[in-house]
Amino acid sequence: MGSRLRSFVRTLFGWRAVEREMHDEWQFHLEARAADLIAAGRSPADAACQARREFGDQSRWSEDVRTVRGLRWIDDARRDLASAARQMRRAPWLTAAVVGTLALAIGASTAIFSVADAVLLQPLPYRAPGDLVMIWSDDTREGRPEYPMSPGNFFAYRQRARLVQSVEAMYSFLNASIWQDGGAERITTSGVTAGMFSLLGHPPLRGRLPHPGEHDVVVLSEGFWTRRYGRDAQVIGRRLVMDAQPVEIVGVMPAAFEFPFQGMLGPSGFVTGTKADAWLVLGETTASARLVDARGQPVRGQHFLSVVARRAPGATLAQIGAEADAIAADLERAYPTENRGLAATVHSLHDEAVGAARGPLYLLLASVGVVLLIACGNVGNLLFARAVARQREFAVRGALGAHGLRLLQQRLVESLGLAAISGVLGAAVSVGAVRVLLALAPSELPRLGHVTLRGSVLLFAVAVSLACGLATGLMPALLAARANLHDALKDGGRGSAGRPRARLRTAVVAGEIALAVVLTLGAGVLLRSFVAVLRVDPGFRADGLLTLQVTIPSRVTTPAARLALYRDLFSRLEGVPGVVSVGGTTRLPLGSGGVTTRVTLSGQVDEASSRAEVEFRRALHDYFPAMGIPVLRGRGFTEADGLPGAEPVVVVNEAMARRYWAGNEAVGQRVRMGTDPSAVSSRVVGVVGNVHHTGLDQPAAPELYISYLQNPPVAPFLAIRTNADPAALSGPVRAALRAVDDDLAVYDMRTMGEVRAASMAARVFMVTLGVLFGVVAVVLAAVGIYSVMSLSVQERAQEVGIRRALGAGPAEIVRLVTGQAARIGAAGTAAGLLLFALVAPALRAEVYGVQPLDPVTLVAVPLLLLGVALSGSVAPMVAALRVDPVTTLRQD
């Protein structure tokens, strides 16, 4: 065995040397024999001749030796490659068509795969990331399976859970202000417990990780360290003030360490699509961190922690879930007020981080795979057409004794050679395609920074190219192998396909049309739902609006001083020419995440354990008129609400009025915010229209507004309505704001149209690619039907000629050709419709406002494809009409 392997390997890698040695050896033999013959009295010339004769046919011996070594195929392959290269040069246009089609399809698939690979398949930047899980409260009464945990419950899990180790927690993203060197800056932070970093296990870039039990320390991200401190290593150990709390910088995490991902924040993530600038370590026993109250007791009434843990060796997610449920049941018995209806949810951290991207990316991968299949079908048909033309060559070789497998190999070498060239070009195409994808990709798609042509991606490209080569080569090869030798030779080499093979060829094209139908239907549904989203009334008037965010200077600390600043700000903005009205809010619709507040409502039973939670914003100045949000009942806020001793009032949206006071008038009801039962309640003075806050395709949630006059914010969004072009307003608005206060920070200035467009980026991404793939599929299917019909007309020229000679008019010929095209098109379309009905459920999560089996699309797309099938047969039909009966009949 060993010797065989050695000899095999030796021949495989050193076949040139082996070949040379063989001929050296024979040369020695021939010369020795000739010398002996000369010694026996022959003349030198005669002796050499005789020696060669006695030796026998050298080419036969060398083939035998190669066969013995099990490597004849390498030799054959070399010959086949040379022959394939000749074939390619002989038909440059065909070669270009094949290579071009395959290269584009391979490039597109590779590009999509490289995104899917980076987002879904690459391990997260933590130690043994597959063992990390997230534990949530499951609020069964409000239907929120991923409800953040209260600190009290978090401590209980950490103490009691046996199937997980190192249970740690984080706050969702927070905006924090840091003051240092005289300047203030808003940064995005995430609060974490001290053990979080060792749980995640990613080494720091500089400095160290927080020790267990440590608090009031901060770890910077590499991005923030670079941006703010110019990568100065001296910042380690420096102290700074973060939201009025002194903290010490202990380390810097490298850019590769991404935490938390947006998906890990649960439903009340504060900021969308943002990375943490810094991680603040929470003191678990200090009241300032809000985990324990002033008496050191765990906080049980507020739910704001996302909990991460590492599973114990051997524990499954289901077991951990069961244990968490058992602990939740105990906690519900022990604290019935705070924990009523709270079960537990356990998911893998990977699912939380990137799970939301899985559906869309798999959908894109499947779509591009279908495009690839159609391309392969076309190329297979093209190669098959050529195989038919060369049928006689193969038949003759078969008759001369060439082995069937040997002929199969020759065809495979040819198609694999074409696929290899296409693969290399495809890899180049994918480099460009990835750039386009990244430019198109929505920012909420996680891990986009990881997209590169790494090894796994190249492996994918190689595998896809190989599969294409095999698929496109096997089809003609198998058909040719089955070819009837006798018929082929008798046929006079005209190269007709014969019935069964013509049937397979049309089946391939019908299959292409079926796949194109599936893709186009999918794209059509995506497009229709995109239009449906565009038509959604956001609940405000998006045109003529300029938005921006401001942070008021840190020296303005008292509410009275802030109000004075806002009064000045609004009067100056109202003075800008073209401005109609000005308002502001703490959460801009479609432009920022939500924030919720717990409320207790009058007229509600079970007040103590209620976890009614509604979206919460402040309205500044003329917010409702500026945004164009209608006041449906009651009133909006007025200046009078800001008078000393004024009654606390709130305005609710219609969704909230319906949800909590269905049937009763909301105006006049009372609402208490927060969890403190002794807090003052506010009166509902008005009901405003619903606003789609988190996305146009998301239902409007119950919302509660309070007036900025009753507790002014520090970093609100402003909305400025104009009757002119809002973009042109940016200069004058900046000038007006500078006039208010030089230290007023102004950022993120966008028109509401831009804000709305950005909120639809994910949908635009899907629709663009879906429609692109759909169009490519249709074009490829049209090319497919064209090539098959042309071939068919060529083959049937004689039949057409006879029909013409027998008096058939052009109309009959047209019927003959288009009839065939229509049959193929109809069969393909029918198959495509059935196929789409099977895969449509997978689309459900991606569509809005239409059903996956949308009637309009279901009618339009088949008609389109039938049209394509017929248009693909126009040129062949013209060719058929030009057939001259006399010429064709004379041919034999």
Partner 1 sequence: MTTPTDVLQGTLDLLILKAISLGPLHGYGVLLRLQQMSGDRLQIQQGSLYPALARLEHQGLVLAEWGESDNKRRAKFYRLSAKGKKQLQAELKYWDGLVEAMALVLKAAPGDV
Binding-site member from 14, 20, 24, 640 for partner 1 (CB under 8 A): 24
Q: Is 4 in the site for partner 1 (CB under 8 A)?
A: yes
Q: Is 54 in the site for partner 1 (CB under 8 A)?
A: yes
Mapped onto helix, strand or coil, the DSSP state of residue 843 is: helix
Mapped onto helix, strand or coil, the DSSP state of residue 662 is: coil
Q: How far is the CB of 18 from partner 1 (least distance, A)?
A: 10
Report the interhelical angle of 72-90 vs 58-68 (nearest 10°).
Answer: 110
Q: How far is the CB of 40 from partner 1 (least distance, A)?
A: 13
Binding-site member from 46, 64, 665, 812 for partner 1 (CB under 8 A): 64
User: Considering only 64-72, 352-360, 383-391, 635-643, which stretch makes contact with partner 1 by CB under 8 A?
Assistant: 64-72
Q: Is 12 in the site for partner 1 (CB under 8 A)?
A: no
Return the number of the residue (22 or 532) whose C-beta is nearest partner 1.
22
C-beta separation of 480 from 407 below 8 A:
yes
Whose tokens are 């520090």? That residue is 714
Q: Is 554 in the site for partner 1 (CB under 8 A)?
A: no
Q: Is 647 in the site for partner 1 (CB under 8 A)?
A: no
User: Considering only 50-58, 302-310, 805-813, 883-891, which stretch makes contact with partner 1 by CB under 8 A?
Assistant: 50-58
Q: Is 33 in the site for partner 1 (CB under 8 A)?
A: yes
Q: Is 39 in the site for partner 1 (CB under 8 A)?
A: no
Q: Which two tokens stand for residue 498?
A: 């014969």
Return the number of the residue (69 or 127) whose C-beta is nearest partner 1.
69
C-beta separation of 427 from 110 below 8 A:
yes
Return the number of the residue (3 or 678) whose C-beta is nearest partner 1.
3
Q: Which two tokens stand for residue 788?
A: 């098959």
The dihedral formed by the CA atoms of 685, 690, 694 and 696, expressed in degrees to the nearest 10: -170
634 forms beta bridges with: 686
Nearest-angstrom CA–CA distance, 426 and 104? 6
Nearest-angstrom CA–CA distance, 364 and 75? 42
Q: How far is the CB of 12 from partner 1 (least distance, A)?
A: 13
Binding-site member from 43, 44, 58, 711 for partner 1 (CB under 8 A): 58
Return the number of the residue (59 or 159) whose C-beta is nearest partner 1.
59
User: Considering only 17-25, 279-287, 347-355, 630-638, which stretch makes contact with partner 1 by CB under 8 A?
Assistant: 17-25
Amino acid at 826: A
Q: Is 29 in the site for partner 1 (CB under 8 A)?
A: yes
H helical segments located in 140-221: 151-160, 196-200
Those residues with Cβ within 8 angstroms of residue 747's Cβ, 6 or more apart along the chain or in another chain: 548, 549, 550, 551
- Before 260, cis peptide (omega within 30)? yes
Q: Is 61 in the site for partner 1 (CB under 8 A)?
A: yes
Binding-site member from 13, 20, 25, 43 for partner 1 (CB under 8 A): 25
User: Considering only 1-9, 280-288, 559-567, 643-651, which stretch makes contact with partner 1 by CB under 8 A?
Assistant: 1-9
Return the number of the residue (55 or 362) whose C-beta is nearest partner 1.
55
Q: Is 316 in the site for partner 1 (CB under 8 A)?
A: no
853-862 in b/e form (b: 16+ CB < 10 A) is ebeebbeebb
Binding-site member from 17, 21, 432, 680 for partner 1 (CB under 8 A): 21
Binding-site member from 65, 389, 458, 764 for partner 1 (CB under 8 A): 65
Q: How far is the CB of 402 from partner 1 (least distance, A)?
A: 21
Of 241-300, which residues contact partner 1 (CB under 8 A)?
none
Burial class (CB in 10 A: 0-12, 13-18, 19+), 386: middle
C-beta separation of 300 from 151 below 8 A:
yes
Binding-site member from 15, 26, 73, 179 for partner 1 (CB under 8 A): 26
Q: How far is the CB of 3 from partner 1 (least distance, A)?
A: 3
Return the number of the residue (61 or 747) whose C-beta is nearest partner 1.
61
Q: How far is the CB of 44 from partner 1 (least distance, A)?
A: 16
Instruction: Give the residue among 113, 868, 839 at the shortest CA–CA distance from 434.
Output: 113
Return the number of the residue (57 or 742) whose C-beta is nearest partner 1.
57
Q: Output the CA–CA distances (angstroms, integers) from residue 416 to 84, 105, 111, 405, in the order listed.
A: 10, 16, 21, 16
Nearest-angstrom CA–CA distance, 197 and 204? 9
Mapped onto helix, strand or coil, the DSSP state of residue 653 is: strand
User: Considering only 3-11, 567-575, 747-755, 814-822, which stretch makes contact with partner 1 by CB under 8 A?
Assistant: 3-11
Burial class (CB in 10 A: 0-12, 13-18, 19+), 830: middle
DSSP per residue over 866-892, as a string?
Answer: HHHHHHHTHHHHHHHHT--HHHHHHT-
Biggest distance spanned by C-alpha atoms of the chain: 137
Return the number of the residue (66 or 611) whose C-beta is nearest partner 1.
66
Those residues with Cβ within 8 angstroms of residue 873's Cβ, 6 or more apart along the chain or in another chain: 785, 786, 789, 817, 818, 820, 821
Whose tokens are 């047969």? That residue is 873
Q: Which phi and psi (to 5°) does residue 402 adopt?
A: -65, 140
User: Considering only 24-32, 123-131, 180-188, 581-589, which stretch makes contact with partner 1 by CB under 8 A?
Assistant: 24-32
Q: Is 57 in the site for partner 1 (CB under 8 A)?
A: yes
Q: How far is the CB of 397 from partner 1 (least distance, A)?
A: 24
Binding-site member from 22, 94, 481, 727 for partner 1 (CB under 8 A): 22
Mapped onto helix, strand or coil, the DSSP state of residue 149 is: strand
User: Considering only 51-59, 194-202, 349-357, 791-799, which stretch makes contact with partner 1 by CB under 8 A?
Assistant: 51-59
Q: Which phi and psi (to 5°) does residue 616 adopt?
A: -135, 125
Q: How far is the CB of 10 from partner 1 (least distance, A)?
A: 10
Count, residues near partner 1 per rule CB under 8 A:
28
Distance of CA 876 to the CA centre of its chain: 41
H helical segments located in 607-760: 623-627, 654-661, 730-740, 752-759
Return the number of the residue (56 or 644) whose C-beta is nearest partner 1.
56
Q: How far is the CB of 768 from partner 1 (least distance, A)?
A: 59
Q: Is 46 in the site for partner 1 (CB under 8 A)?
A: no
Cα angle for residues 67, 72, 75 (degrees, 5° grid) = 150
User: Binding string, 69-108, against partner 1, x = CB under 8 A?
Assistant: xx--------------------------------------
Binding-site member from 9, 12, 32, 728 for partner 1 (CB under 8 A): 32
Mapped onto helix, strand or coil, the DSSP state of residue 182 is: coil
Binding-site member from 56, 92, 230, 645 for partner 1 (CB under 8 A): 56
Q: How far is the CB of 24 from partner 1 (least distance, A)?
A: 7
Q: How far is the CB of 13 from partner 1 (least distance, A)?
A: 16
252 forms beta bridges with: 206, 220
Q: Is 892 in the site for partner 1 (CB under 8 A)?
A: no
Neighbour count for residue 469 (Cβ, 10 Å): 25
Q: Which phi and psi (to 5°) does residue 666 adopt?
A: -70, -40
Q: Is 229 in the site for partner 1 (CB under 8 A)?
A: no
DSSP per residue over 331-370, as a string?
Answer: HHHH-HHHHTTEEEEEEEHHHHHHHHHHHHHHHHHHHHHH
Return the number of the residue (57 or 181) whose C-beta is nearest partner 1.
57
C-beta separation of 285 from 292 below 8 A:
yes
Q: How far is the CB of 20 from partner 1 (least distance, A)?
A: 12
**What DSSP character marks residue 298?**
B
Binding-site member from 9, 12, 17, 68 for partner 1 (CB under 8 A): 68
Q: How far is the CB of 72 from partner 1 (least distance, A)?
A: 12
Q: Is 28 in the site for partner 1 (CB under 8 A)?
A: yes
Q: How far is the CB of 45 from partner 1 (least distance, A)?
A: 19
Q: Is 7 in the site for partner 1 (CB under 8 A)?
A: yes
Residues forming contacts to partner 1 in the complex (CB under 8 A) are 2-4, 7, 21-22, 24-26, 28-29, 31-33, 35, 54-58, 60-61, 64-65, 67-70
